[in-house]
Amino acid sequence: MNAPVTLDAAMVADVERRASAALAAATTTDELRAAEAETLGKRGELTGLNARVGGLDPPARKDAGALLNAARARLRALHDARAAELDAAAGAERVAAERLDLSEVLPGPVRGSLNLVTQTRDALEDTFIGMGFVVAEGPEVESDWHNFEALNMPPAHPARSGFDTLYLDWGEPESALLRTHTSPVQVRLMLEQPPPIYAVMPGRVYRKDTPDARHTPSFSQIEGLVVDHGITFGDLAGTIDTFTRAYFGPNISARLRPGYFPFTEPSAEFEITCTICEGLGCRTCSGTGWVELGGCGMVHPNVFEAVGVDPEEWTGFAFGFGIDRLAQMRFAIPDMRVLADNDLRFITQF
Ligand code: PHE
C-alpha cells in the first residue's frame, strides 16, 4: 500500500512562494506567458497539488481544496497585474519608437492657431451674439430652389449669371449646386421656425472665379436675418452701424448706398470707413475713404411668400458680407490667396 497522501498549508505556501517569484520575475510578455504555464498551467506544481486532493481523507479534502483555490486566485491576480504592467510598458515603448521628430522641418517651435478667417468668423459671431442674435448654419451643397428660386430668382433671371455658379453632376441638370452665397440659409431658417427671427449665418460659399488678389473660388460670408413685427429700414441701418462700431471701434462707421438684390427691396450696398486709413483716403480704398463690405435690404415679399411667412404681418431685413474681405481689410492683407496657403511666414503672424 502507498504511503498516506498528505497536503498541508506549509506545502501550499511553499509552492505559492515559488510561483509568485516566477511571475514577478517576468520582464516581457513572452516570459510572463512561460511563467504562467509553469505555475498555473496543467503541468504546474499547483495543479500537481490539486491532483493529490482526491487521495486525502474526506474531512481533509475540503480544507486542502480551499487552501489551493485561495492560492490559485492570488497567483491569478498577481499574473493579471503583471500582464497589465508589461502591456503598458510595451505600449509606451512603441509610442516612443514611432514618435516623429518634426523639429527639423519647422524653423523653430511653432504654436498652432486657428486660421485668420476662422478667428474673424468667431469674433463676428461674438459681436452679433452680444447684440442678441443666434448663430445658425446651412449646407454647402444646395438645391437650385433654396439658392435661387425661393430668393426671388426664377430660372433665367438675369441676376443668376452674376453668381458664376458651380453645379454638381447630381439629379436633374443644374438642380444641385455649391451655394453661391449664404442667403439660402435665410430660406431654411424661415421654413424651420416661425418669426420672430434674429440670426446670423456664417459659412463657406463657392463661385467659379479665377483666383487673384481679391478673389478666391471659395470664401466665407456671414448672413444676417431679422424678421419681426414692424421692422423698418431704420432698424437695418442702426444694426449695421452698431455692429460696425462694436467690431471695429468708434473711429469706423458704416454708410448705405442704393443697390440691387432680387431678394431684398429696397436694397443697399454697405460700406464702412476704410480701416487702413480711417477715412483719410489711401490706395486700398482708391482714395475714397470707404470700402464696400456687402449687401443688405428689406426682405422681399416674394421671399416671404416662398417660405410661407405672411408679408402683411411680418417685415424684416437681411444682410450678407464677406468674412475674408473683412479680415483682409482689418489686417491690410494685399493678396487674399495667402489666407488659404500654408506659408508659415504668414500663418505665424496670427
Ligand atoms: N447674398 C448677397 C451676395 O452674396 C448679399 C446679400 C445678402 C444682399 C442679404 C442682400 C441681403 O452678394
- Residue 201 pairs with which residues in a beta bridge? 223
Among the listed ranges 111-115, 179-183, 265-269, which one has the minimum average pLDDT value?
Answer: 111-115
CB burial string 308-338: b at 16+ within 10 A, e below: ebeeeebbbbbbbbbbbbbbbbbeebeebeb
Q: Residue 307 Cα, ligand 1 centroid: separation in angstroms?
A: 18
Q: Check pLDDT > 90 for residue 202.
A: yes
pLDDT for res 312: 97
HSE, side-chain direction, 13 A CA sphere, residue 96: 6
Which atom in ligand 1 lies closest to the alpha carbon of residue 205? 4
Give residues with Cβ within 8 angstroms of 102, minimum separation 6. Answer: none
pLDDT for res 342: 83
The rounded mean pLDDT for the chain is 90
Please, is 181 exposed, middle or buried when counting C-beta atoms within 10 Å of its C-beta (0-12, 13-18, 19+)?
A: buried
Residue percentage of the chain with pLDDT more than 90: 51
pLDDT for res 197: 98
Give the 3-state secondary structure of residue 3: coil
What is the rounded average pLDDT of the residues 78-96? 90
pLDDT in tens, 16-44: 899 899 898 999 888 999 988 888 888 88
Q: Check pLDDT > 90 for residue 268.
A: yes
Q: Residue 288 Cα, ligand 1 centroid: separation in angstroms?
A: 23
User: Which residue, chain included where needed, has cell 444641385?
Assistant: 176
Ligand 1 atom 4, closest CA? 181
C-alpha cell at 347: 500663418
Task: Name residues contacting ligand 1 (CB within 6 A).
Answer: 181, 183, 223, 261, 264, 294-297, 318-320
Q: Check pLDDT > 80 for residue 89.
A: yes
HSE, side-chain direction, 13 A CA sphere, residue 316: 28
What is the rounded average pLDDT of the residues 228-251? 93
Q: Residue 335 Cα, ligand 1 centroid: separation in angstroms?
A: 23
Which atom in ligand 1 lies closest to the alpha carbon of residue 267? 10
pLDDT for res 1: 45
Q: Residue 201 Cα, ligand 1 centroid: separation in angstroms?
A: 12
- Closest-CA residue to 183 (of 196, 199, 170, 194): 199
Ligand 1 atom 8, closest CA? 295
What is the rounded average pLDDT of the residues 243-257? 89
One DSSP character per residue, 291-341 reads: EEEEEEEEEPHHHHHHTT--TTT-EEEEEEEEHHHHHHHHTT-S-GGGGTS
What is the rounded average pLDDT of the residues 87-114? 78
Give the residue, out of 207, 240, 263, with the most ligand 1 atoms within 8 A of its beta carbon, to mutate for a pocket test.
Answer: 263
For residue 23, the one-letter residue type is L
Q: Which whole-number Å values give the CA distances from 144 to 20, 105, 225, 266, 321, in the listed order? A: 74, 46, 20, 24, 21
User: Which residue, chain included where needed, has cell 491532483?
Assistant: 51
Of 155 and 60, the structure prediction assigns the larger pLDDT to 155
CA distance 338 to 347: 9
Among the listed ranges 137-151, 157-171, 197-211, which one has the minimum average pLDDT value?
Answer: 157-171
Give the 3-state secondary structure of residue 221: strand
pLDDT in tens, 170-192: 999 889 999 999 999 999 999 99
- Closest-CA residue to 238 (of 319, 299, 292, 303): 319
CA distance 218 to 185: 17
pLDDT for res 343: 86
CA distance 66 to 63: 5
Q: Residue 343 Cα, ligand 1 centroid: separation in angstroms?
A: 31
Give the residue, out of 157, 164, 181, 270, with the most ligand 1 atoms within 8 A of its beta carbon, to mutate for a pocket test.
Answer: 181
Give the 3-state secondary structure of residue 139: coil
Where residue 105 falls among pLDDT bands split at 50, 70, 90? low
Q: Residue 261 Cα, ligand 1 centroid: separation in angstroms?
A: 7
Q: Which whole-number Å values give the CA distances from 232 to 2, 71, 155, 193, 312, in the listed order? A: 111, 85, 30, 21, 14
DSSP type of residue 7: -
Q: Residue 305 Cα, ligand 1 centroid: separation in angstroms?
A: 19
Residue percentage of the chain with pLDDT more than 70: 96
C-alpha cell at 267: 436694397
Give the residue, out of 178, 190, 261, with the most ligand 1 atoms within 8 A of its beta carbon, to mutate for a pocket test.
Answer: 261
Q: Residue 122 Cα, ligand 1 centroid: separation in angstroms?
A: 20
Residues in the chain: 350
Among the listed ranges 56-70, 98-112, 173-187, 319-333, which one has the minimum average pLDDT value?
Answer: 98-112
Q: Residue 260 Cα, ligand 1 centroid: separation in angstroms?
A: 10
CA distance 153 to 159: 7
Ligand 1 atom 7, closest CA? 320
